[in-house]
């Protein structure tokens, strides 16, 4: 088999695993309306599941980066896929919200091992183009998100939420085996020794912290729309499952293109600050629009949110990789650190949103999310926009 063909098959397997990964990430928000009766819980239970998941996926990012540096990215990706997929299978038989919350934490923890090593692998097989590699991985997530938010709400309506989760968990296990078969083996780095000093340099890197906080602003809006929109439209506005799933899916439909576009822009300019700020402001406006209590406003807000969040993710993670000032084995850790800040910080907004929705109304919840998103844009104004190019050339 030629090297080129081997690399193409490796990329295909990574993209396939990322698609199913996204289904298992997002389908809970789509099908919770069906789960709520069995688990005897409403919007507060959905907030608990979302919070538990983001706590798991956020806190395990850095340990996952360290594991990838020692084990190699392929082994780490496979482990993460199998752990998260097994927990999804477990969720399909959960009988209480507490059980489901614990399992969602495990799903998140497993998924934390997948993203950064996948970026490193995809970039390697695509000729070292960071923006293109991140854009492809993010676009694959958005394709999977369309299935998870729209397809799974229809599927669960027909076959039940438990079989739908069993199916998505089984597909996850299959894609893990696909990565085992098609991604070239990466030998264990026997010379690698965990260096607390190197880790400290990454964790203290000013620009990485600022990028992570700024990315959290856009991510917050995406988390709220993907987690709550389908339930909100069904429980509060009385929309059908199909309409609710379609509207919620807009948050991932448009990034299929805008993630790739953002990657190309980044590869040309290496100046992430302006686009990150513009994306964040767009997300603020999107959440304000969602506060109007009608399905048309919800759809418009989800569309705008989908348009602006794609470039934010791609540019933030590509810049994080290029800002890594230590050895190549730590590139995944730099991406993981930015992702950790963004995702760990996202564990509490669902709790605030569900509290505001239950105590006041959904308009107050969407406006509260918009205010939080705006506040988190402030760190980006202190980002040194020209640093990625110099870091890359150093």
Give the model confidence (pLDDT) of 16-69 as tens digits.
999 999 999 999 999 999 999 999 999 999 999 999 999 999 999 888 878 887
- Report residue 53 as tokens: 């998941």
Separation of alpha carbons 309 and 59, rounded Å: 22
Give the model confidence (pLDDT) of 280-302 as tens digits.
999 999 999 999 999 999 999 99
Any domain includes 186: no
Q: Which of 341, 344, 312, 346 is nearest to 202 (CA)?
A: 341
Separation of alpha carbons 292 and 55, rounded Å: 30
Separation of alpha carbons 51 and 352, rounded Å: 10
Any domain includes 195: no
Q: Which of 128, 108, 110, 112 is nearest to 120 (CA)?
A: 128
Q: Averaged over 200-217, what is the pLDDT?
A: 86
- Structural domain for 142, as ranges: 8-181+201-393
Instruction: Determine what percent of the chain falls in helix, strand and coil, rounding each to the nearest 5.
Output: 85, 0, 15
Any domain includes 14: yes
Q: Averaged over 247-268, what is the pLDDT?
A: 85
Residues, the chain, total? 394
Separation of alpha carbons 244 and 117, rounded Å: 33
The most confident of the ranges 1-5, 142-146, 160-164, 215-219 is 160-164
What are the DSSP calls for 327-386, one per residue?
Answer: -GGGHHHHHHHHHHHHHHGGGSHHHHHHHHHHHT-HHHHHHHHHHHHHHTTGGGGGS-TT
Tokens 């983001």 correspond to 54
Any domain includes 194: no
Any domain includes 191: no
Classify each residue of 203-220 as buried b or exposed e, where b means 16 or more C-beta atoms within 10 Å of its C-beta: bebebbbbbbbbbbbbbb
Separation of alpha carbons 301 and 286, rounded Å: 4
Domain count, the chain: 1
Residues 175/13, Cβ–Cβ less than 8 Å: yes
Any domain includes 22: yes
What's 114's domain CATH number? Answer: 1.20.1250.20
Any domain includes 77: yes
Separation of alpha carbons 223 and 10, rounded Å: 29
Any domain includes 193: no
The most confident of the ranges 180-194, 212-226, 322-336 is 212-226
Phi-psi region of 375 (alpha: psi -120 to 50; beta: other; left: phi over 0): alpha
């Amino acid at each position: 088999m030629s090297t080129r063909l081997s690399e193409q098959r490796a990329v295909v397997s990574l993209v396939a695993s990322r698609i199913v990964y996204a289904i298992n990430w997002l389908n809970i928000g789509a099908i919770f309306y069906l789960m709520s009766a069995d688990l005897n819980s409403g919007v507060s239970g959905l907030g608990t599941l979302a919070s538990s998941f983001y706590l798991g996926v956020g806190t395990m990012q850095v340990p996952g980066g360290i594991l990838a540096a020692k084990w190699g990215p392929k082994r780490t990706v496979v482990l993460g896929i199998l752990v998260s997929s097994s927990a999804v299978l477990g969720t399909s038989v959960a009988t209480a919200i507490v059980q489901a919350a614990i399992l969602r934490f495990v799903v998140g923890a497993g998924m934390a091992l997948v993203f950064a090593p996948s970026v490193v692998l995809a970039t390697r097989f695509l000729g070292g183009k960071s923006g293109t590699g991140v854009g492809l991985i993010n676009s694959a997530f958005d394709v999977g998100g369309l299935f998870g938010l729209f397809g799974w709400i229809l599927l669960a309506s027909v076959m039940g939420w438990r079989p739908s989760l069993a199916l998505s968990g089984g597909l996850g296990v299959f894609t893990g085996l696909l990565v085992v078969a098609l991604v070239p083996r990466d030998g264990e780095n026997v010379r690698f020794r965990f260096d607390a000093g190197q880790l400290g340099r990454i964790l203290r890197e000013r620009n990485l912290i600022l990028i992570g906080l700024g990315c959290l602003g856009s991510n917050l809006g995406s988390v709220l729309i993907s987690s709550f929109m389908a339930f909100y439209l069904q429980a509060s506005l009385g929309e059908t499952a199909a309409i609710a799933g379609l509207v919620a899916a807009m948050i991932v439909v448009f990034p299929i293109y805008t993630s790739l576009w953002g990657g190309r822009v980044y590869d040309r300019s290496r100046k992430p600050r302006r686009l990150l700020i513009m994306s964040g402001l767009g997300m603020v406006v999107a959440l304000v629009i969602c506060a109007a209590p009608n399905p048309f406003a919800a759809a418009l807000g989800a569309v705008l949110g989908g348009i602006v969040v794609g470039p934010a993710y791609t540019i933030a993670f590509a810049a994080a990789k290029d800002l890594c000032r230590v050895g190549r084995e730590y590139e995944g850790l730099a991406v993981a650190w930015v992702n950790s800040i963004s995702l760990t910080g996202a564990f509490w907004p669902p709790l605030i949103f569900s509290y505001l929705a239950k105590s006041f109304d959904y308009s107050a919840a969407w406006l509260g999310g918009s205010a939080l998103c705006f506040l988190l844009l402030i760190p980006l104004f202190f980002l040194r926009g020209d640093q990625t190019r110099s870091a890359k050339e150093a």
